[in-house]
Amino acid sequence: MSGPNTDYDPVEVTPLKADQVEAMREAALAAIADAADLDALKQVRLDHNGDRSPLALANREIGALPPQARKEAGQRVGQARGAINQALAARQAVLEAEHEQRMLAEETVDVSLPTTRRRRGSRHPLTLQSELIADLFVAMGYEVAEGPVVEAEWLNFDALNLGPDHPARTMQDTFWTEPAEDHVVLRTQTSPVQARTMLTRKPPIYVVCPGRVFRTDEYDATHSPMFHQVEGLVVDEGITMAHLKGTLDHFASQLFGDGITTRFRPSYFPFTEPSAEVDVRCFVCRGVDSASCRTCRGEGWIEWGGCGVVNPRVLIACGVDPEVYSGFAFGMGIDRSFMFRHGLEDLRPLFEGDVRFSSAFGTEI
């Protein structure tokens, strides 16, 4: 806003007078300070620092000054513009920060809103329990063996010292398949996998076999025609019942907690001799003041499974020399272990497929 150059005396160029430049600077700084937002500041920038701003115009007049006056005038204008640029930048930063703060404040959401848009999946607790058990044994150096559930009668019974007229065959109510002369059954135990393992591997054998087994039990709170077992088999030189006890004690402590041990009671299984029932120390009451314990029903012990030293007859049928090798085997119900480990009293939710059951366990147990 230079005024008309009425009096062409270079020294007297009005806009370049010190007080004039000072006034322009003050006006600019005041406008910058007053700029309330980024848009206002943009206008202030145009007005006071743009090509048509008083200082810009004044700057153009410098050339009209006598050489000796140019330096001083140039410095004066330059300083003023420098101060204005600085003030603009500072104000810009402040206003941008304010703007961002306001925007962020405006974008506030209710973080307590529900976020579950996708369904959650889960694995079946029996699968998880099987894997957990398999992992315990794999950690000891065992391998996981498998076999078919529709099995040859010979492998499910005869090879395991359960001849056709063995009374123990009636202990396991067997599903038979048609035609009967095919001699095919639904395996009643995971033990045929033991036989298969001995028939296909050479000792030393250290395996566990988790899997589904079948018995003709009517389906109710404590019986199911299908359930899951895990069986272990060790065949090596010099294997004794003491090794069996040590292994099951370790298994028990891993599955139910430190210090949980097992108890053997004489029992009978055709494929082992001697045979034992295994009880596991109740991990809830630990045998102290058991009377009111709901987990072991006052026993202090929980029936867990069966075990024993592999009957030499089984070794012979499976091609293992009983003069050189001995072994032990054990079998536990996975479903049953799960039930008392997790306080499930009726087994039916395991097989009903209600998502509310499996979902409660997620992907780990």
What's the rounded Cα separation, in Å, for the pair 239 and 235?
7
Provide, rounded to whole angstroms, the least separation between the CB of residue 16 and another protein.
54
| Torsion of Cα atoms, 167 then 172 then 173 then 179, to 10° | -80
Select 219 or 289, whichever has its Cβ closest to another protein: 219
Window 170 to 199, contacts with another protein (CB under 8 A): 170-171, 175-178, 180-184, 186, 199
What's the rounded Cα separation, in Å, for the pair 215 and 175?
6
The one segment of 22-30, 66-74, 84-92, 246-254 that binds another protein by CB under 8 A? 246-254
Residue whose structure tokens are 């003041």: 289
- Four-residue CA torsion sign, 122, 127, 133, 134: negative
Distance from chain centroid for Cα 40: 54
Select 78 or 246, whichever has its Cβ closest to another protein: 246
Tokens linked to 358: 């499996």
Tell me if 336 contacts another protein by CB under 8 A: no
Provide, rounded to whole angstroms, the least separation between the CB of residue 237 and another protein.
10
Select 15 or 232, whichever has its Cβ closest to another protein: 232
Window 251 to 290, contacts with another protein (CB under 8 A): 261, 263-268, 273-277
What's the rounded Cα separation, in Å, for the pair 80 and 76?
6
Select 59 or 262, whichever has its Cβ closest to another protein: 262
- Among residues 92, 148, 339, 365, which is the contact residue for another protein, using CB under 8 A? 148
Tell me if 123 contacts another protein by CB under 8 A: yes
- Among residues 2, 5, 236, 344, which is the contact residue for another protein, using CB under 8 A? 236
**299: Cβ–Cβ under 8 A, 6 or more apart, which residues?**
279, 282, 290
Tell me if 350 contacts another protein by CB under 8 A: yes
Window 32 to 71, contacts with another protein (CB under 8 A): none
Strand pairing of 143-144 and 205-214?
parallel
